[in-house]
Amino acid sequence: MIRIGKIVASHGLNGAVVMTHLGADGKWLKKGDTLMLEMQKGSLIPYFVEQCKATNPGEMIVNLEEVSTQQAAKRLVSRHVYVDEKLLAAEVSHSPLLWIGFTVSDKHYGEIGKLEDVMQTGAQWVGKVNYKNNEALIPLVDATLLGIDSKKGLLLTDLPEGLLEVYS
């Protein structure tokens, strides 16, 4: 499961919710898909999509089965939303935000560690990895990325020589 977003508000009187998401657009979610909502820490409950409509690139209005009142929708506000990796197969290669938690493995250094966070600095993405008990920042750009295996949760890189020696 990949955390894709969060329910941020109820919408209207019929139980719709507003969901922010990290996908590139709202076309990845379809009627019948399953959203897993974290109702309590570590407890994911499935909700099936009845209808969804993108309102902008990072937000959509979603109607869920068995959520038909404003009160029921309000109970879902502030819940994190997870989806199966298969739903986002096309999105993962485009959005570094979806790589958080992936293992970073480098051509020269071998396994570096888990990607803990990503930040955008201008036009470039930078990833934070715990490398030898130090916070290491690595560039996540075409020149350093060799491949992404979303099924294995793996980022393959070719980092510049000497980059990680700074953190040793």
- Say whether both 86 and 107 belong to one domain: no
Segment 136-158 shows an average pLDDT of 88
Cα–Cα distance list, 51 to 17, 33, 34, 47, 123 (Å): 11, 10, 12, 12, 34
- Say whether both 80 and 155 belong to one domain: no
Domain range for residue 58?
Answer: 2-91
- Say whether both 64 and 25 belong to one domain: yes
Q: How far apart are CA 68 and CA 153, in angstroms?
A: 36
| pLDDT over 90 at 51, yes or no | yes
Strand partners, 120: 125
Total structural domains in the chain?
Answer: 2
- Say whether both 6 and 87 belong to one domain: yes
Sheet containing 103-106, strands listed edge to edge, beginning at the edge strand earlier in sequence: 134-140, 124-131, 110-121, 103-106, 154-157, 145-149
pLDDT band of residue 23 (cuts 50, 70, 90) is low
Q: Is the pTM of this model over 0.85?
A: no
